[in-house]
């Protein structure tokens, strides 16, 4: 131990239940300040002197600022750490707001302890608080308080830190929120253990029943009621199903008003402030590890990073599991506890207990801040039994980020960990093959059924296709048969998968899928809501008919265009298509951002924007007639067409960076190939617009025509194409597509194509040569 050795010298907790006498309607800042004052008092030294010594205040991020979609209904501070600091008389040189996740409190304690040992920090406060219960209770009322605070001063805001925790595939399949994601993990564990539904439910109840008894004795608990194992797992009016296998009592409780804080200093500062040595608690062991993204885990029922973090923290501390006097394992859902116990050989009924607070469903899931309460309890127990050791396991995401701390009053110097080295080993393990679009027979790997408050049910399945590739899917609306399967013992059960623009769907059989979600036979309808079509012999003209929205596309409009182009490519009598936009202002402004901002469901057909940007095998020519703006997705659609005719008013741009998006519908790939990397990079990174003339010079456009004549120009180009053999046109496009990725020119020229063999035997090849010899116009047969 040296003067730079870090020690925890004070901890504090606060709560403000809405149904308690003397409810104070405290904000998150108010709760954090109350906890911080308690922590300063807990040092046994002069609180004002300790506050004045703080050079760093680190805040745990509140739920209301944890995601881009989060909302603070009563307002919030623009600088939570400094708001708290000001209330306790501190003026730190550095303020930190950590990333989202329940690992944050322990991670911050470890980080700041290391900084104290390294000499860059002398005294720090870690603080977190949530006033979720108050926000829900008072929002919209006539006397609702305003918690808005605008605070000047430095803030190191580390952002959301949500990388890998939410993917487009998860959003598309309704896998949002923690209950359904943890339910998938829970059921994967059940499947691996071979437990039937009833047995497993009993085990979950028996695991958490002791937690309720701890919560019942905790003055800060949000739900201080002791319950039996049977009460916890039996659905009822107050214990409604949430996501199979979880009823409400087994789910982390986020409606809390709670705050916690901890003060860390160096030994030298603790002595200078007069903190009694019996208040000092040392961080003996620690580890910070991260798990793979959920669907990349070889076994969905376990997170190896969590077990590895506990084992390594024990190694750093130089003790064994049996040396621990107390444990607090993060307990947002049963599997968060049981999967750690599985890996370490801890019995669910370990006499030491697995929680000091009562756990997140019963003490309260105080946002990202729960484990700061666990640290406060652990420090108090360590002081009460000098020389004992206590462990805190802090979890973020879906077993995604795990931080561990081991505490004791036994003096020790700072001990570095090898988390980076261990993380490299975890990352080296192979991942299962995955598939985005699942079609055909499959089996259930894990599952859940999400229950709405109105009684509606949605099944979510992680499956394996016939090739063993993992995929994510949902049940079809109204498919009670598959929901009943998932409500039983579905592990390994045979199902049938089919992919759509909105994602994958599963049913029990193919015939059931055909009944509930029949494939649409390609063909043109008489009318559409967002599109106009006109057939003129072998030419199909398609008009995006949303001029008031600059022909921007919503998901239903994209679906209609996808349907139209399915019909075009399937109809042997349609040889060329023209796509244009209604009115004179725009070809298409791309994605309709008003729809996106409204919060309505978003999806794109499997074939991409307009049914074109992701379509493979486009062996019939599509011409874009660009009148006005082709912006963002509209430019991507034009680039997906084989040919572009633009009137002289046209403007082309990939403008996604201007609205916080990227040109992910092919623009980032196609533009550099069309105009070269230099110009493409400038356009992509700045949103630069090209005029029609500039686009022509750059190779983005084939022809420029006078204003207002783009469609006429496209028709003229189509007529030239229709003058040739449609079979030759198709074959040419196919061979161009087949050889596109072959770098060597000679290899590309010698590429064997069955399309060329078929052309040589076609009626059109014979007709073309015959007509030439007879000096007449050929009569193409398209075969």
pLDDT tens digits along 518-537: 888 899 999 999 999 999 99
**Residue 768, pLDDT score:** 67
pLDDT tens, position by position, 676-685? 999 999 999 9
Structural domain contains residue 435 = no
CATH number of the domain residue 471 falls in: 2.40.50.840
CA distance 418 to 406: 15
pLDDT at site 767 = 67
In this structure, the answer to whether residues 479 and 581 fall within a common structural domain is: no
Residue of 733, 694, 14 lying closest to 373 (CA atoms): 14
CB atoms near residue 705 (< 10 Å) = 22
Q: What is the pLDDT of residue 128?
A: 98
Torsion of CA 182, 184, 188, 189, to 10 degrees: 20
31, part of any domain: yes
Strand partners, 463: 444, 471
Q: Is 696 found in the same domain as 553?
A: yes
Q: For the chain, how big is the Rg over CA atoms in Å?
A: 32
- Name residues of the chain where pLDDT drops below 50: none
Rounded distance, CA 277 to CA 520, Å? 76
Task: Determine the pLDDT at residue 677.
Answer: 95
Task: Note whether residue 215 is domain-resident.
Answer: no
pLDDT at 772: 80
CATH number at residue 388: 3.40.47.10
DSSP helix/strand/coil, 226: coil
Give the per-residue pLDDT at 759.
67
Query: What is the DSSP code (8-state) at residue 180?
Result: H
Candidates 159, 101, 94; CA nearest to 124 is: 94
Same domain, 452 and 467: yes
Evaluate whether residue 780 is within a structural domain: no
Q: Please, where are the H alpha helices in 650-779?
A: 667-675, 677-686, 692-698, 710-722, 726-738, 745-749, 754-760, 763-774
582, 692: one domain: yes
User: Does residue 57 share a domain with residue 114?
Assistant: yes
Residues 661 and 759 placed together within one structural domain of the fold: no
DSSP string, 599-641: T------TT-GGGTTT-----S-EEEEE-SEEETHHHHHHHHS
Q: Is 573 designated active site?
A: no
481 is an active site residue: no
Domain annotation covers residue 715: yes
Tokens describing residue 775: 């000096």
Cα 656 to Cα 589: distance, rounded to the nearest angstrom: 11
Residue 202 lies in a domain: no
- Residue pair 643/619 in contact (Cβ under 8 Å)? The answer is no
In a domain, residue 653? The reply is: yes
718 and 731 part of one domain? no
Nearest to 376 by CA among 129, 135, 132: 129
Residue 401 host element (H or E): strand 401-408
CB atoms closer than 10 angstroms to residue 773: 8
467 belongs to a structural domain = yes
Count of structural domains, the chain: 4
Using the 3D structure, point to which of 427, 450, 477 is the last residue of a domain: 427
Residues 486 and 627 placed together within one structural domain of the fold: no
Whether the CA torsion 214, 216, 218, 220 is positive or negative: it is: positive
CATH number for the domain harbouring residue 542: 3.90.226.10
DSSP 149: B
According to DSSP H, which parts of 398-532 are helical? 419-427, 480-486, 510-516
Note whether 414 and 493 are same-domain residues.
no
**66 and 163 belong to one structural domain:** yes
- Compute the distance between CA of residue 253 and CA of residue 220 in angstroms, rounded to an integer: 13
**What's the pLDDT at 235?**
94
Judgement on whether residues 11 and 158 belong to the same structural domain of the protein: yes
Q: Are residues 507 and 556 in the same domain?
A: no
Of 529, 656, 758, 767, the catalytic one is: 656
The one catalytic residue among 278, 636, 682, 767: 636
310: domain range?
Answer: 6-168+250-427
């Amino acid at each position: 131990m040296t003067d730079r050795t870090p020690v925890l010298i004070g901890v504090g907790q606060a709560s403000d239940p809405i149904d308690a006498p003397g409810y104070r309607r405290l904000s998150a800042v108010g709760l954090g300040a109350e906890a911080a004052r308690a922590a300063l008092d807990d040092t046994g030294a002069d609180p004002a002197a300790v506050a004045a010594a703080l050079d760093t205040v680190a805040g745990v991020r509140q739920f209301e600022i944890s995601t881009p979609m989060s909302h603070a209904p009563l307002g919030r501070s623009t600088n939570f750490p400094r708001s708290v600091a000001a209330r306790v008389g501190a003026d730190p040189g550095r303020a930190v707001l950590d990333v989202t996740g329940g690992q944050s409190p322990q991670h911050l304690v470890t980080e700041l302890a290391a900084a104290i040992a390294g000499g860059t920090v002398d005294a720090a406060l870690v603080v977190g608080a949530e006033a979720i219960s108050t926000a829900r209770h008072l929002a919209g009322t006539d006397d609702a308080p305003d918690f808005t605070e605008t605070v000047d001063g430095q803030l190191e805001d580390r952002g959301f830190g949500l990388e890998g925790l939410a993917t487009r595939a998860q959003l598309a399949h309704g896998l949002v929120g923690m209950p359904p994601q943890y339910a998938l993990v829970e059921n994967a564990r059940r499947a691996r253990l071979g437990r039937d539904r009833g047995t497993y439910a009993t085990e979950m109840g028996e695991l958490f029943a002791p937690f309720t008894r701890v919560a019942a004795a905790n003055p800060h608990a949000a739900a201080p009621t002791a319950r039996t194992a049977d009460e916890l797992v039996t659905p009822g009016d107050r214990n409604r199903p949430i996501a199979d296998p979880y009823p409400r009592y087994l789910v982390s409780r986020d409606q809390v008003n709670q705050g916690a804080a901890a003060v860390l200093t160096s030994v030298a500062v603790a002595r200078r402030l007069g903190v009694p040595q019996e208040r000092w608690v040392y961080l003996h062991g620690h580890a910070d590890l991260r798990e793979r993204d959920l669907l990349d885990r070889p076994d969905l029922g376990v997170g190896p990073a969590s077990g590895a973090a506990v084992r390594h923290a024990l190694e750093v501390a130089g003790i064994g599991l049996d040396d621990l006097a107390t444990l607090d394992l993060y307990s947002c859902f049963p599997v968060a506890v049981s999967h750690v116990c599985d890996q370490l050989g801890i019995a669910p009924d370990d006499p030491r207990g697995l929680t000091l607070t009562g756990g997140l469903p019963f003490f309260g899931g105080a946002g990202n801040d729960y484990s700061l309460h666990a640290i406060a309890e652990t420090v108090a127990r360590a002081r009460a039994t000098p020389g004992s050791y206590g462990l805190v396991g802090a979890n973020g995401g879906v077993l995604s980020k795990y931080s561990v701390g081991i505490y004791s009053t036994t003096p020790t110097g700072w001990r570095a960990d090898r988390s980076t080295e261990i993380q490299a080993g975890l990352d080296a393990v192979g991942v299962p093959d995955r598939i985005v679009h699942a079609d055909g027979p499959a089996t259930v790997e894990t599952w859940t059924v999400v229950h709405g408050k109105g009684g509606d049910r949605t099944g979510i399945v992680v499956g394996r296709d016939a090739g063993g590739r993992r995929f994510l899917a949902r049940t079809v609306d109204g498919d009670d048969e598959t929901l009943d399967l998932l409500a039983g013992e579905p592990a390994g059960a045979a199902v049938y998968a089919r992919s759509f623009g909105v994602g994958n769907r599963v049913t029990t059989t193919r015939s059931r899928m055909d009944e509930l979600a029949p494939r649409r036979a390609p063909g043109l309808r008489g009318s559409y809501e967002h599109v106009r079509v006109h057939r003129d012999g072998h030419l199909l003209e398609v008009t995006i008919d949303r001029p008031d929205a600059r022909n921007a596309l919503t998901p239903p409009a994209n679906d209609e265009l996808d349907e139209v182009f399915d019909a075009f490519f399937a109809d042997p009598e349609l040889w060329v298509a023209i796509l244009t936009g209604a009115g004179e202002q725009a070809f298409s402004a791309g994605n309709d951002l008003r729809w996106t901002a409204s919060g309505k469901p978003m999806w794109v057909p499997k074939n991409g924007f307009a049914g074109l940007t992701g379509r493979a095998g486009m062996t019939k020519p599509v011409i874009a007639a660009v009148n006005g703006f082709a912006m963002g997705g509209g430019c991507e659609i034009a680039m997906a067409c084989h040919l572009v005719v633009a009137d002289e008013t046209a403007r082309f741009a990939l403008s996604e960076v201007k609205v916080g998006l990227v040109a992910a519908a092919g623009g980032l790939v196609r533009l550099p190939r069309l105009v070269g990397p230099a110009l493409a990079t400038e356009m992509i990174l700045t949103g630069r617009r090209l005029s029609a003339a500039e686009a022509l010079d750059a190779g983005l456009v084939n022809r420029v025509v006078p204003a207002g004549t783009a469609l006429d120009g496209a028709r003229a180009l189509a007529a030239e194409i229709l003058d040739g053999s449609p079979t030759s046109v198709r074959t040419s496009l196919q061979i161009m597509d087949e050889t596109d990725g072959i770098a060597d020119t000679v290899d590309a020229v010698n590429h064997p194509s069955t399309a060329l063999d078929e052309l040589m035997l076609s009626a059109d090849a014979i007709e073309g040569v015959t007509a030439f010899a007879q000096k007449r116009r050929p009569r193409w047969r398209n075969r």
